[in-house]
C-alpha cells in the first residue's frame, strides 16, 4: 500500500540506477544521510537528487520532503526499502532519506535519472492538474457605526460632592 507522502511510483529500473548513483556519490562525491541532513541539504539548495524510502514508519518523518523538494525545484525519487537505501549509503542500518549533493563519478547517471524523474513528475502533474473552480465569497457587510450619546453624571453625586466641600 502506498503511503500518503508517495506522490508517484518510481519504476524498478530507475530505482536500481538511483542506488548506483548513491553508491558512486558515496565513494567519489558527497551524500547526506538521514532525514535531518537531507532536509538541511534541500533548504540550502545543495541537493541535486533526493531519495526517499517508501517504507518509513511513522510517515510524518519524511512527509515534508516531497513538498520541500517541489518548492526548491529539486528532483526526488522513491526507493522501496529503507534498508537498501541505508546499505548503499554506507550505513549498517536503514535510512529514511538520502540527498546526493555531489555526484562525483556518477554524474552521467545522475543526469539520466534527472531526465527520467522530470518526466515522472510532469506525468503526475498532468494527471492532477484539473481546473479548480474557486467560489467567490460574498462581500462582507460594513458595520454601521452608531452615534454614542454623551454620558451625563448623575446629579445626586454632584450634590453630595458640593455638600462635602462646604
State the Cα–Cα distance between residues 80 and 89, nearest whole angstrom: 15
The domain 12-128 having CATH identifier 3.30.1330.30: the answer here is yes
- The partner residues of 116 in beta bridges, in order of sequence, read none
Distances (CA, A) of 108 to 33, 55, 114: 22, 28, 10
> Contact at 8 Å (CB) between 27 and 105?
yes
- Taking 50 as the pLDDT cut, the residues of the chain under it are 1, 122, 125, 128-132, 134
For cell 518509513, what's the residue? 56
For the chain, give every domain's residue range: 12-128
- HSE, CB side, 13 Å, CA atoms: give it for residue 126: 6
Radius of gyration of the chain (CA): 30
State the Cα–Cα distance between residues 131 and 49, nearest whole angstrom: 30
Amino acid at each position: 500500500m502506498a503511503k500518503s507522502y508517495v506522490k508517484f511510483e518510481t519504476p524498478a529500473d530507475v530505482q536500481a540506477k538511483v542506488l548506483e548513483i548513491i553508491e558512486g556519490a558515496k565513494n567519489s562525491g558527497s551524500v547526506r544521510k538521514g532525514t535531518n541532513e537531507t532536509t538541511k541539504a534541500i533548504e540550502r539548495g545543495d541537493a541535486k537528487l533526493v531519495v526517499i524510502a517508501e517504507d518509513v514508519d511513522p510517515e510524518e518523518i519524511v512527509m515534508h520532503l516531497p513538498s520541500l523538494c517541489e518548492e526548491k525545484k529539486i528532483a526526488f525519487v522513491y526507493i522501496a526499502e529503507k534498508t537498501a537505501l541505508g546499505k548503499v549509503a554506507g550505513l549498517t542500518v536503514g535510512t529514511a532519506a538520502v540527498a546526493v549533493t555531489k555526484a562525483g563519478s556518477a554524474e552521467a547517471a545522475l543526469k539520466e535519472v534527472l531526465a527520467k524523474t522530470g518526466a515522472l513528475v510532469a506525468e503526475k502533474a498532468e494527471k492532477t492538474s484539473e481546473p479548480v473552480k474557486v467560489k467567490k465569497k460574498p462581500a462582507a457587510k460594513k458595520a454601521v457605526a452608531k452615534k454614542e450619546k454623551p454620558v451625563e453624571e448623575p446629579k445626586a453625586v454632584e450634590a453630595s460632592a458640593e455638600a462635602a466641600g462646604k
